């Protein structure tokens, strides 16, 4: 489990195509503090540490991603040099600064627009069809591993994207500086995880 509070912006060092795909990721995390088999959220996707080490002063860890993971997330577009948001797994007693995040990506969204809003930036995202029912104004959402608060929600009812949902999020300068959001661009695809509570409330509502 995670909280959506990014603690490092890592960088993909290498991508190796095997039966699965192996990513080697550079990080500030001390390899001695990472156990083999530990979970790390990589831009919102929970992955397992299978190797770790330090080369030329740079710490790194390796993870394997299956074809299913590549198909359901943006990981298939990662290449050497790609920056990614990293978060270590939550420990009992840790501060819950964001919201409960599982690291199981529900779908791939798209950045539709970015506009200045005071010192912050207002991002507009489009969620895939079927996920809009779980996104609500003032609710939480996890985007590329970052816990964010939804400001506005609008269902798309006309055009080729009918059935999709667009929603707005403000990202403050601090968050932009300590995550990959400072480098985000319109058209970029992002990992989206809906709020876990919203998932179960919707499930229970269907049974009534």
CA distance 67 to 88: 23
Domain membership of residue 155 as a residue range = 107-207
CA distance 83 to 25: 9
The beta-carbon contacts of 67-74 under 8 Å, at least 24 apart in sequence, are: 67/20, 69/45, 70/21, 72/105, 72/107, 72/108, 73/44, 73/45, 73/105, 73/108, 73/191, 74/43, 74/108, 74/144, 74/189, 74/190, 74/191
186 in a structural domain: yes
Instruction: Return the minimum-mean-pLDDT range out of 15-19, 24-28, 152-156, 194-198.
Output: 194-198
CA distance 15 to 148: 29
Residues 195/139, Cβ–Cβ less than 8 Å: yes
Show which of 88, 116, 142 is a domain's final residue. Answer: 88
Is the pLDDT at 66 greater than 80? The verdict is: yes
Q: Which residue has the tokens 């507009």?
A: 124
The answer on 199 and 127 residing in a single domain is yes
Record the tokens describing residue 109, joined without a space: 């969204």
94 in a structural domain: no
The answer on 73 and 34 residing in a single domain is yes
The answer on 138 and 46 residing in a single domain is no
128 in a structural domain: yes
2 in a structural domain: no
93 in a structural domain: no
Q: Which residue has the tokens 């299913």?
A: 68
* Confidence band of 45 (pLDDT split at 50, 70, 90): very high
121 in a structural domain: yes
Show which of 59, 88, 117 is a domain's final residue. Answer: 88
CA distance 50 to 129: 34
99 in a structural domain: no
Show which of 61, 88, 115 is a domain's final residue. Answer: 88
* Confidence band of 61 (pLDDT split at 50, 70, 90): very high
The answer on 113 and 196 residing in a single domain is yes
- Residue 23, judged by CB atoms within 10 A of its CB (0-12, 13-18, 19+), counts as buried
The answer on 169 and 79 residing in a single domain is no
pTM attached to this predicted model: 0.91
The answer on 123 and 199 residing in a single domain is yes
* CATH number of the domain that residue 127 is part of: 2.40.30.20
16 in a structural domain: yes
CA distance 118 to 121: 7
How many domains does one find in the chain?
2
The answer on 139 and 69 residing in a single domain is no
Using alpha carbons, select from 83, 73, 108 the residue that is nearest to residue 183: 83
The answer on 122 and 68 residing in a single domain is no
- Per-residue confidence (pLDDT) for residue 32, from 0 to 100: 96
Stretch 31-36: mean pLDDT: 96
Per-residue pLDDT reduced to its tens digit, 161-181: 666 799 999 999 999 999 999
């Amino acid at each position: 489990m995670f909280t959506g509070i990014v603690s490092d912006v890592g960088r993909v060092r290498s991508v190796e195509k095997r039966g699965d795909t192996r990513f080697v990721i550079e990080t500030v995390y001390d390899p001695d503090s990472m156990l083999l088999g530990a979970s790390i959220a990589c831009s919102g996707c929970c992955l397992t540490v299978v190797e770790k080490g330090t080369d030329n002063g740079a710490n790194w860890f390796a993870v394997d991603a299956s074809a299913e993971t590549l198909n359901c997330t943006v990981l298939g577009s990662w290449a050497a040099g790609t920056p990614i948001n990293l978060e270590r797994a939550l420990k009992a007693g840790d501060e819950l600064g964001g919201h409960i995040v599982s690291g199981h990506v529900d779908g791939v969204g798209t950045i539709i627009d970015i506009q200045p809003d005071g010192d912050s930036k207002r991002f507009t995202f489009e969620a895939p069809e079927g996920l809009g029912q779980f996104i609500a104004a003032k609710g939480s959402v996890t985007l590329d591993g970052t816990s964010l608060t939804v400001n506005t929600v609008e269902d798309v009812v006309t055009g080729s994207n009918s059935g999709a949902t667009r929603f707005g999020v403000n990202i403050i300068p601090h968050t932009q500086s300590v995550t990959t959001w400072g480098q985000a661009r319109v058209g970029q695809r992002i990992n989206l995880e809906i709020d876990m509570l919203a998932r179960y409330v919707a499930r229970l509502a269907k049974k009534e």
